[in-house]
Every structure is written in C-alpha cells, then in structure tokens.
Amino acid sequence: MNAAPTDKRRLILDAAVRVFARQGFHTCRVSDIADEAGVAYGLVYHYFSSKEQILDTLFLERWEVMLEAIAQADASPRSPEEKLGAIASFIVDSYRHDPDLMKVIVVEVTRAANTFGLTHVDRIREAYSRIASIVADGQRDGLFRAEITPAFAAQAFYGCVEQVLTGWIFDSEPVGTAELERAKWMIVDTICHGLSSARAPEATGPGPGAAAGSASSKSA
Amino acid sequence: MNAAPTDKRRLILDAAVRVFARQGFHTCRVSDIADEAGVAYGLVYHYFSSKEQILDTLFLERWEVMLEAIAQADASPRSPEEKLGAIASFIVDSYRHDPDLMKVIVVEVTRAANTFGLTHVDRIREAYSRIASIVADGQRDGLFRAEITPAFAAQAFYGCVEQVLTGWIFDSEPVGTAELERAKWMIVDTICHGLSSARAPEATGPGPGAAAGSASSKSA
Amino acid sequence: MNAAPTDKRRLILDAAVRVFARQGFHTCRVSDIADEAGVAYGLVYHYFSSKEQILDTLFLERWEVMLEAIAQADASPRSPEEKLGAIASFIVDSYRHDPDLMKVIVVEVTRAANTFGLTHVDRIREAYSRIASIVADGQRDGLFRAEITPAFAAQAFYGCVEQVLTGWIFDSEPVGTAELERAKWMIVDTICHGLSSARAPEATGPGPGAAAGSASSKSA
Amino acid sequence: MNAAPTDKRRLILDAAVRVFARQGFHTCRVSDIADEAGVAYGLVYHYFSSKEQILDTLFLERWEVMLEAIAQADASPRSPEEKLGAIASFIVDSYRHDPDLMKVIVVEVTRAANTFGLTHVDRIREAYSRIASIVADGQRDGLFRAEITPAFAAQAFYGCVEQVLTGWIFDSEPVGTAELERAKWMIVDTICHGLSSARAPEATGPGPGAAAGSASSKSA
DNA sequence: CATGAATGAGACTTCATTCAT
DNA sequence: TATGAATGAAGTCTCATTCAT
C-alpha cells in the first residue's frame, strides 16, 4: 500500500546511483551496491535480474521525468526561448537535486554508444525530437531563423547542456548555486543569440546580471 | 629499424581502434584486438603494458594532433569566428577520415569521468582552454559580447561539436559528405549567431550553402 | 485435522514429481516446485526439510509399494515365470499410471550411484534380492536351470525392465497401451526362454498375442 | 605432432573421469578437476568451453569406440550369439580397463534423460540399433525366434549389461576378474537361452566354466 | 499453517597478464 | 620479436534455506 518503512528496492536503487557515480558502472561490483544499500547480496537479485537492469531502471525512471518536463515546457504559453530556458532549468535543477544520478545518466548511458546508449537510443532521441519541435515552432512563428535545422538546433542545445554538466561532473568540488543559475541563462542565451556582439541587444532576457555574478570559471 | 613493411605496433593500434569502436573498451578482450590485428596474443603485451595503455596511446596520439590544430587555427590571421570554423572543420574532418577513432575518443574517453576521462582530464581541458582563449580574444576585440564567459563559450562550442559527432556515432548508416559539411557551418553559425532571428544578418559568413572552404584538411 | 480438501503436503509431492520429471532434480529449483504446486515458497520447507528429502520421500513411498508387490507376487501360488510376469506387469502398470514418477525413480535414483542411489542402495537391493529368491525357488523346483545364479538372474530381469522403461522415458511421444502390454510379455519371455529358437516351444505361456491378463492392477 | 610430454588436455580429461566417478558430475566443481589434474583453474577453460563439454567429450570419445566395436563384432563371421558375446565382452572389458569412465557414462549420461542422455540420445540409440540388427540377422537365419522384436531384444541385452555394470558400480569393493568373466557368459547365456530349464541343452555354448575366449580385448 | 522477503555461501566462467620457448 | 599455453584472481548470478510476520 504505502511506501513501506523500508522499501528495500528503493534502497538498492539509491545506493546504485551513489556507487555508479563514485566508481562507474563497469568498475563497481554488485556487492558494492549491496554493501552501500546495507542489504544482503542476494536481495539485489531478488529485485533486479542483473546489474544492467539496475542502470536501465535508473535511466528510464529519470528520463521519463525529463521527457515529461520537456512536454510541459512545450505545452506552456511561453516563447520558444523561454521554453528552452525551462528545459535547461529543469536539467540543471535535476543536477542540483541529484548530481550523482545525472552523472550516471550522462556518463554511463547517454554517450555509451556500444552499451546502454544503444539500448535506449530511441528514448534518448525522443528528447531531441521534442526539443526540435520547439525550435520548429519558433521558426514557423518567425522568432527563429530557418537556416539552422530544428534537429541540429536540438543537438546544439542539448550538447551544450550536457557539456556543462560534464564540466561539473569532472570538477572535484561541488558546484555552487550561483554557478548553476548562471549556467541556465548562459546556455539559453548562447544558443539563442550566439557569441557574436552583432545582434539586437533587447532580446537578451533577464541578462547576466540577474544571476549571482560572482561564480567561478573553474570548469573550463 | 625502419618503418617496417609490417609495423606490428601500428597494426595493433589500428586494430584496437576498430575493436574498441565495434565492441567498446570494456566489452572487448585483448584477444579480440590480437585477432583483429592478425598477431599473436602475447605480442600485444610486447608493445603495450596493458589494455588501458592501448587506449591511452590512441587518445593521446590523436588529442595532441587536435591541440596542435587548435593552436594553428588560433595562430592564423583569421577572425575568431573563422578560427572556430577551422576547429569545427578539423574535428569533422577527423571524423570523416577515421570515424572509429573519433567514436572511441568520444565514447570511451571524453565522458568517462571515472576512468579515462579522469586520467586525461588536464589534456582534455587544455583544448577547452585554447578555445576559450580564442573567444576571449574576440571579446577583447569587440567581436564577441562579454556576457558569455570564454570558458562557458568553449564548453558550448565543444559540446555542440561532440553532440553532433555523437549523433553520427549512433546512426546505423554512414554519414554523407554533404551532411558533414553542412554540420561544420551550422555549428559555427549557431554558436556565433544563435537561433534567434533578431540579429544583424550581415554577420552570417559564407552561408549555409557553402562549406567553410578554408578550413583544415590536416586530419587526413 | 482431517484429510483436508487441500492436503498441501500431497500437492507439493505431486508437483515435485512433475517438476523432477520435466527438468530433473538438479536442474529444478525449489521455487519451481512451489509454483507448480501453487503454494507459497516457504510452505515447501514447512513440510520438507530439504529438496533432497522430497525426492527421498517420493522414492521411498513408491519403492515400498513395489517391494510389497514383489512380495505378494512371490506369495501367490504361481509358477516362477508367472511371478516374474506379475512383477513386470506391476512395474509397467506403475509406469502407465504415473510415468513421471517412474521416470524420476529410474532417472534420479536407481542409477544415481553418487547421490540418491547410494542413499537407498539397501532398499534398492532388497528388490533384487526378492526377485532372486523367486528364481532360486524355480531352480530348486527344477523349473529354472542352475547355471545362472539367482542374483544374476534378478539383475538381468530388472535391468531388462528398467531399460524398457528408459526407452519409453526417452521417447518424445507417450507410449500406447498395446506396446505396454506387449512389453510385459516380451520381458518375461525373453528372460525365461531367451532369444534362441532352439528350445521347447510349449513353455511359452500365453504367447505374444495375449496380454498377460492375470497381472496386477494394484499400481493404479 | 606427437603426444607431448605433457598433454594437458588429456590430463584434464583423465582427471575429470576420476572426479566425475568419485563425486558425480553435479556434485563436483571445476576446481576439483583442475586440482585433480594438477593444472591451473583457467586451463580447463582453455581447452573446454564448459564443464558440460568435458563430459560430452568423454562420452563421445568412448561411445564411438563402442559403436566401432559393435560394428566389428557384427562384421565378423560369427553366429549372432557369438556376436552378442563379443559385445558383452567388449563392454565388460571396458569396465575392467577403466571402471571410472564406464561409471561416468552409465551414471551421468546413459540414463540422464533430462540432460546428457537427451543430448546424446541419437548416438546412444545407434548402439541399440546395431545390436538389433544382429538380432534381426539371427532371426532371418532361423537362429533366433521371431516373437521377440529385434528392437526389444537389443534393449533386453543392453539393459542386462548395464544393470550388471550398475551392480559393480554400486559395490564398495572392486570386482574380481573371475566375476567379470563369468558375467560375460551369463549375460549372453541368459539373453539367448533364458532362465528356463525347458530347452535344448546343446545350444549352451562354452558353458559357465569357460570364459568367452574369443571375444574382445580391444578395449584394453 | 502460510507467506515471500531476506540471506549469503558457492560455482561457473571470464580474461588480463605472465612466461617459457 | 613472436607465440600461445598457462595462471589465478575476480565478479556475476544462482538458489537452498531461514525467518519475521
């Protein structure tokens, strides 16, 4: 009925996130997960058929949430730029909320072209597809220019986001809130308005001053 | 002595690229590499001290070439946008010339935050750093706006490039030349001018139809 | 209390017969038995102390019945040949009635010289012993010749029977009644009169056309 | 080329025979085999793909020899009874020469209707088939009576042989030569002439005192 | 009686690495 | 250089058995 006082399955899943993040999927042992969860070895196999299935479960759980977030952003009565901002914001907040989980997804799944990435390629591409659809709407409304294909734009946007996450993931120290917030704005601003200074300044949105300006640049 | 008719070391390295690309580093066995190279099992250990060292060698070899290409682009008397174009062009041409090698680097190293990525993080960041330097120059000259930090801009640019490669890597079919060329232009145009239509059109550069003709060919 | 409408213990035993016959003792899991019986996993251990004990129980239950059948055959006022016929008939009818159970006994116990066969060797040999006693009586009465030792004769007779069962067990299709009946006669006729044609024909008994009508039905 | 001073593969195979005979296939571990052979654990998997494959190899090696022995017996210019004698003799001598191997074959393969027996059922039945063919020839020549089908006769004969072996296998003490020789004669005499005394005495053959002298010795 | 989650020892198999030739 | 047999540590997964409810 309710979430039992000890939902061992959840315990294992959460432990796996920490262990995968710390040691990597290939480097960790199932016993590491069991130990981290504080349960017996065999219980892992009571709930999951293999180590792989744990990662699959983790990825799918989270990715469905993300697809839903993208759908909601798209459904809102906002400009395309604001929609992209909502998505970037969601992903960055996901990282803030559970950096280990995002690390696992980015490191072990999204680029794992021979293993998990291949398994989940359709689900992964669904996200790009939905982002591309937002861009296409922007083009139709004349807000986005037509030279850049929506599919490419989606790749550029998502690639930019993931690279930022990757930078944080490689950092030895945790990332501050200010930097997280600034990243949201910079991602959208860069993708929508580019690096070049030869553009109409009024489109900028909240502007760089809005986010806590002090933050580092250690990630470079 | 000389570059022998059969440089077994090179044979092994090239075979490893194919095997790593096909099966992934963790999924392949050393014997797969030896078989692919057509050499005896033990010979692999004559030339390399471990399976890891083969990947390290592969990565470092290629990454040095890339750092050099970035340096050369930076050293040339071009605009920052053209310099970015040269870099994008170099990477895309690298993919065209040896997609397996680029797949291995992107899939097995640059995001492998617990294994090879960590080992080579300094070398990897050196690339971002050099790209950031180009952006900083552009800002100093007033060509790039100052709101986006150079470090972030480098991430955005490189993330965009790698995402495009990743897309190709996941594709089951090989990518055509036209698409490769179009990607070069779109990467630079998106990063420099953004998706928004609210910008000065004259900054566009060669335009979507023309491949960035000047750019690299050093990768071959 | 009473022999309940659902005697779970019996349910488990019967399910075990089917599972052992289908998958073999070593290949099946205790959970397979529980599933087949439609009872909870733990209940198996409420009634039996181990997986082995289930097979022991199955074997002993059946083997006692068989020893009793042999004893009865021996006690009846029949000729030795008819007594052997009654035994063959009983075993074949046992197979007809519950081929799975006989399969389990033949496959998992009587030849399992390192496991169950060893555990039950005395009980198994008791059967040979009783058969040998019938042969010895035949020799004493001049009906059987003395060159073949009773112990050997018992082995020959029982080996013949078991080999016939084994043949059926390996068959993919179920065996017809006619073949079962014919086998009863052929077993006894071969063991008593041999393959050679150089013998007195009048000793043949009911003959190949008639099923050994008198024989048992206790097995049902 | 030649049989190397240490043919490790053979060493492993021979060790497996001893270990399978002593502990049974399911009860022994691969490490037991490696230890018994005095080789490293991994070498077992260098030569064999699994524990099962070791048993398969053992069985097939020996069974082909047996099929060949049956074929030779059949090809010789002997009476059917003598041919059966040659076969019984060959099998008994096989047991004398390597009781462990015969134990493994009888216990782990021949009756293992859910595992190895099933795998090799065709090969096993080939033996029965060849024996049946000898019987059929005997019937055609009027030496064997027609009431017993050749297929059944083959089962009776082989079942008798295997039961005798099984008896020895279960014995705690090794079997003496005299008993082995006597068994050869009793098997054939029982199957060919039956237990009954009501038969023509001249068909008896060499008699219980003489070992079937001509038969086999190929097994050594 | 009945349930099924929880336990953990154990076995197979893999494979990087070594080494004698 | 070149070979591939030999080594053995390590990890995944299985499953009989226990136990709290």
Partner residue facing B128 (CB), from A143, A153, A220 = A220
Q: What is the pLDDT of residue B5?
A: 57
The answer on pLDDT for D140 being more than 50 is: yes
pLDDT of C188: 97
pLDDT digits (tens, 9 = 90+) for A121-135: 999 999 999 999 999
Average pLDDT over chain D reads: 90
Q: What's the confidence (pLDDT) of residue B4? A: 56
Among A106, A113, A192, select the one facing B194 at the smallest CB separation: A192
Q: How far in angstroms lies nucleotide F11's C1' from the CA of residue A45? A: 14
- The C1' atom of F14 and the CA atom of A45 lie apart, in whole Å, by 9
Domain boundaries, given as residue ranges, for chain C: 1-48, 57-219
- By the 8 A CB rule, do B149 and A186 touch? yes
Instruction: Give the closest of C148, C166, C204 to D190, CB-based.
Output: C148
User: Mean pLDDT for chain A?
Assistant: 91
- Lookup: nucleotide whose C1' is closest to A9 CA: E5
Are residues C131 and C154 in contact, defined by beta-carbon separation less than 8 angstroms? yes
Q: What are phi and psi of A144, to 5 degrees?
A: -110, 145
- Asked if strand E contacts B49 at the CB level, meaning under 7 A, the answer is yes
C-alpha D61/C-alpha D57 separation (Å) is: 6
pLDDT for position D199:
55
As a whole number of angstroms, the distance between CA C101 and CA C54 comes to 12
Chains B and A touch (3+ CB pairs under 8 A): yes
Summarize the confidence of residues A54-70 as an average pLDDT: 98
Fold (topology level) of C57-219: Tetracycline Repressor; domain 2 (1.10.357)
Distance from CA of B2 to the nearest CA of A (A): 37
What pLDDT does D162 receive? 98
Q: How far is the CA of C202 from the C1' of E14 (A)?
A: 68
Question: Which residue, chain included where needed, has tokens 């076969």?
Answer: D87
Total Cβ atoms within 10 A of residue D159 = 26
pLDDT at A6: 74
* Closest chain C C-alpha to D77 CA, distance in angstroms: 18
Cα A53–Cα A56–Cα A62 angle in degrees, nearest 5: 140
**Chain C partners within 8 Å of D155 (Cβ):** 160, 163-164, 167
- Say what the pLDDT of residue C37 is: 97
Residues of B with CB below 8 A from A220's CB? 125, 128-129, 132, 149-152, 154-155
Mean pLDDT for the stretch of residues D122-130: 98
pLDDT-based confidence at residue C6 (cuts at 50, 70, 90): confident
Nucleotide nearest to D52 (CA to C1'): E12
Q: Compare CB distances from A194 to B106, B154, B192 and report the shortest one's residue.
A: B192
Of A86, A64, A60, A65, nearest to A75 (Cα)?
A86
Mean pLDDT, residues C29-43 taken together: 97
Whole-number Å distance between alpha carbons of B100 and B13: 12
* End-to-end Cα distance, chain C: 27
Determine the distance between D51 (CA) and E1 (C1') in angstroms.
Answer: 42
Instruction: Name, in order, each residue with C-beta under 8 angstroms of A108's C-beta and a sequence gap of 6 or more.
Output: A20, A24, A25, A55, A116
pLDDT, tens only, B6-51: 799 999 999 999 999 999 999 999 999 999 999 999 999 999 999 9
Kindly state the percentage of chain B with pLDDT values over 70.
Answer: 88
Q: What is the mean pLDDT of residues D169-190?
A: 96
What's the rounded Cα separation, in Å, for the pair C79 and D136? 31
Read out DSSP for D32-96?
A: HHHHHHTS-HHHHHHH-SSHHHHHHHHHHHHHHHHHHHHHHHHHSS--HHHHHHHHHHHHHHHHH
pLDDT one-digit tens code per residue, C67-81: 999 999 999 999 999
What is the rounded CA–CA span in Å between residue A37 and residue C220?
55
pLDDT along chain B (220 residues), means of 10: 70 98 97 97 97 98 98 97 98 98 98 96 98 98 96 98 98 96 98 84 46 38
Residue D65 has pLDDT above 60, yes or no: yes
Q: Using alpha carbons, select from C120, A218, C178, D185 the residue that is nearest to residue B155.
A: A218
What number of CA atoms fall less than 13 Å from residue D15's CA on the CB side?
23
Instruction: Look up residue B96 and give its amino acid.
Output: R
C-alpha A114: how far from its chain's center? 20
Rounded Cα–Cα distance for residues C90 and C76 (Å):
14
Give residue-wise pLDDT tens across range C117-155: 999 999 999 999 999 999 999 999 999 999 999 999 999
**Rounded to whole angstroms, what are the CA distances from C10 to A41, C14, C32?**
34, 6, 16
The C-alpha angle with vertex A144 and arms to A138 and A150, in degrees rounded to 5, equals: 70
Query: How many Cα atoms occupy the beta-carbon half-sphere of B210 within 13 Å?
Result: 9
CB of residue A21 closer than 7 A to nucleic acid strand E?
A: no
E-assigned strands of chain C?
none
Q: Which nucleotide is nearest to C31 (CA to C1')?
A: F15
Q: What are residue D144's phi and psi, to 5 degrees?
A: -110, 145
Question: What is the CA angle B79-B83-B89, rounded to 5?
Answer: 140
Both structure tokens of A45: 């196999």
Contact D191 C190 (CB under 8 A): yes
- Candidates D101, D126, D163: best to mutate against C (most CBs of C within 10 A) is D163
Chain D residue numbers with beta carbons less than 8 Å from the beta carbon of C152 are 164, 183, 186, 190
Q: Which residues of chain D have a CB within 8 Å of the CB of C164?
A: 152, 155-156, 159
Strand partners, C179: none
Quote the minimal CA–CA distance from B38 to chain A in Å: 23
CA–CA separation, B98 and B87 (whole Å): 16
Which of A12, A84, A78 shows the shortest CA–CA distance to A51?
A12
Work out if C29's Cβ lies within 7 angstroms of strand E.
no
> Would the pLDDT of A215 be above 90?
no
CB < 7 A to strand F: residues 18-57, chain B: 39-43, 45-46
> Percentage of residues in chain D with pLDDT exceeding 90?
85
At residue A203, the pLDDT reads: 45
- Judging contacts by C-beta atoms under 8 Å, the chain A residues touching residue B158 are 163
CA distances C106 to B138, C103, C112, D123, D168, Å, are: 87, 5, 9, 20, 18
The nucleotide lying nearest D31 (C-alpha to C1') is E11
Considering all nucleic acid strands, name the nucleotide whose C1' atom is nearest to the C-alpha of residue A48: F13
CA A173, CA A191: separation in Å to the nearest integer? 27
Region C199-211: mean pLDDT is 46
Cα(A220)–Cα(A212) distance, integer angstroms: 18
State the nucleotide closest to D32 in CA–C1' terms. E11
CB pairs under 8 A between C and D: 197
Mutate to test the interface with D, among C155, C195, C197, C199 (most CBs of D within 10 A): C195
Q: What is the pLDDT of residues A135-174, one digit of tens each?
A: 999 999 999 999 999 999 999 999 999 999 999 999 999 9
pLDDT band at residue A5 using 50, 70 and 90 as cut-offs: low
**Closest chain D residue to the Cα of C147, Cα to Cα:** D208
Query: Nucleotides of chain F within 7 Å of a protein C-beta?
Result: 1-20
Contact partners for chain A, using 3 or more CB pairs closer than 8 A, are B
Distance CA B43, CA B12 (A): 9
The C-alpha of C199 sits at a distance from chain D's nearest C-alpha, in angstroms, of 4
Please report the pLDDT score of residue D203 as a whole number.
Answer: 44
Residue A103: name the closest of A194, A25, A13, A217 by CA. Answer: A25
C132-139: list long-range contacts, CB under 8 Å, 24+ apart. Answer: C133/C74, C134/C73, C134/C74, C134/C80, C134/C83, C134/C84, C135/C80, C135/D195, C137/C80, C138/C79, C138/C80, C138/C81, C138/D195
Given an 8 Å threshold on Cβ–Cβ distance, is B159 in contact with A155? no
Q: Which long-range contacts (CB under 8 A, 24 or more apart) does A171-177 make?
A: A171/A218, A171/A219, A173/A218, A174/A99, A175/A99, A175/A219, A176/A215, A176/A216, A177/A96, A177/A212
Are B63 and B56 in contact by the 8 Å Cβ rule? The answer is no
Residue C84, judged by CB atoms within 10 A of its CB (0-12, 13-18, 19+), counts as buried
Domain B1-48 part of CATH 1.10.10.60: yes
Residues comprising chain A, all counted: 220
- Span between the terminal Cα atoms of chain A, in Å: 48
User: If you ran DSSP here, which 8-state letter would residue C98 be given?
Assistant: -
Tell me what the mean pLDDT of segment C26-32 comes to: 97
